[in-house]
């Protein structure tokens, strides 16, 4: 872990006592760097996420679901737009960045596990590199990943960066609608004897991918985010809240959560 300077420690203390920042404020380098990290990660994930969902407007199983998927795609595009605007206000060049990367690119191998590694140079959370191959995947993605994101974004409701804090309320509400869609559809498939086995197979595939989103438990980055008031809980705490919720639901719907072994995740992914 890096050593903190006395200036860093003074800043952590001020933030703990309620200091906040806006785009016009002079920002210590350590604050700006970590804030930008998190904002880029969210913006690129929202954008890549929306594009990954888009084909499912046409492929959804019925007219009602097509409307719901279209609504979810629109929400993700709006979330991306809001966060990219916050980045622009900070002097970042989001338009150039969006042109420079292929956000609709996905790993060609449906069964891949890339562990904690990145597949390309954009900033999306790495679960957004996996292809959504089946309707079951789309619903599991809502059930698992929108819930994980919802939990992570909840911390931003208390962010020390005011524009982000102000924007996150409606984003969180919309993420809750997405995860509610996941709950409803996954429950219905789990309770359908003809659909349960394949759903379980896809859950087994997505489970380590979503658990990896919370990062390695040994990582030090989380500590700095907490000290800067950019998060309020450790990754391990957020993950625990997430797993408890999923477990309760899976237990009552007859789905089994597979074992997850952080140490057994692949360290590197190289695209063939």
Q: Which residues lie near Fe ion (CB under 5 A)?
A: 46, 76, 79, 146, 175, 178
Q: How far is the CB of 1 from Fe ion (least distance, A)?
A: 31
Q: Which residues have CB under 8 Å from 205's CB, separation 6+?
A: 111
Q: Give Cα separations from 131 to 21, 44, 46, 72, 209 (angstroms).
A: 38, 16, 15, 17, 12
Residue closer to Fe ion, measured from CB, 162 or 170:
170
- Cα distance between residue 146 and residue 72, in whole Å: 11
Residue 153 beta carbon to Fe ion: minimum distance, rounded to whole angstroms: 8
Select 151 or 227, whichever has its Cβ closest to Fe ion. 151
> 């809750």: which residue's tokens?
176
Of 178 and 227, the one with the shorter C-beta distance to Fe ion is 178
146 vs 183, which CB is nearer to Fe ion? 146
Say how far apart CA 209 and CA 219 lie, in whole Å.
17
Q: Residue 123 has which token pair?
A: 């900033």
Measured from the Cβ of residue 112, the count of other Cβ atoms closer than 10 Å reads 18
CB of 104 to Fe ion, least distance (A): 16
Query: For 82, left (φ over 0), alpha (ψ -120 to 50), or beta?
Result: alpha
CB of 177 to Fe ion, least distance (A): 8
Q: Toward Fe ion, which CB reaches closer, 106 or 178? A: 178
Minimum distance between the CB of residue 254 and Fe ion, rounded to whole angstroms? 26
């Amino acid at each position: 872990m890096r050593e903190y300077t006395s200036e860093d420690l003074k800043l952590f203390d001020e933030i703990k006592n309620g200091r906040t920042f806006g785009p016009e404020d002079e920002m210590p380098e350590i604050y700006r760097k970590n804030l930008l990290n998190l904002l880029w990660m969210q913006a690129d994930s929202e954008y890549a996420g929306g594009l990954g969902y888009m084909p499912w407007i046409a492929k959804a199983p019925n007219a009602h679901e097509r409307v719901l998927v279209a609504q979810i795609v629109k929400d993700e595009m709006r979330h991306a737009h809001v966060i990219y605007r916050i980045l622009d206000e900070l002097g970042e060049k989001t338009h150039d960045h969006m042109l420079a990367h292929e956000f609709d690119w996905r790993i060609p191998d449906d069964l891949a596990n890339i562990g904690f590694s990145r597949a390309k140079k954009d900033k999306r959370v790495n679960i957004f590199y996996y292809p959504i191959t089946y309707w079951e995947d789309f619903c599991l993605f809502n059930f698992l990943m929108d819930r994980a994101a919802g939990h992570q974004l909840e911390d931003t409701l208390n962010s020390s960066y005011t524009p982000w804090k102000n924007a996150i309320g409606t984003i969180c509400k919309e993420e809750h609608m997405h995860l509610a869609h996941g709950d409803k559809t996954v429950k219905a498939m789990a309770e359908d004897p003809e659909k349960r086995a394949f759903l379980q197979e896809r859950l087994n595939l997505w489970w380590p991918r979503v658990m990896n989103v919370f990062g390695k438990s040994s990582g030090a980055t989380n500590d700095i985010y907490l000290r800067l008031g950019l998060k309020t809980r450790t990754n391990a705490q957020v993950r625990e809240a997430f797993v408890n919720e999923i477990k309760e639901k899976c237990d009552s719907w007859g789905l089994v959560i597979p074992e997850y072994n952080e140490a057994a995740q692949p360290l590197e992914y190289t695209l063939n």
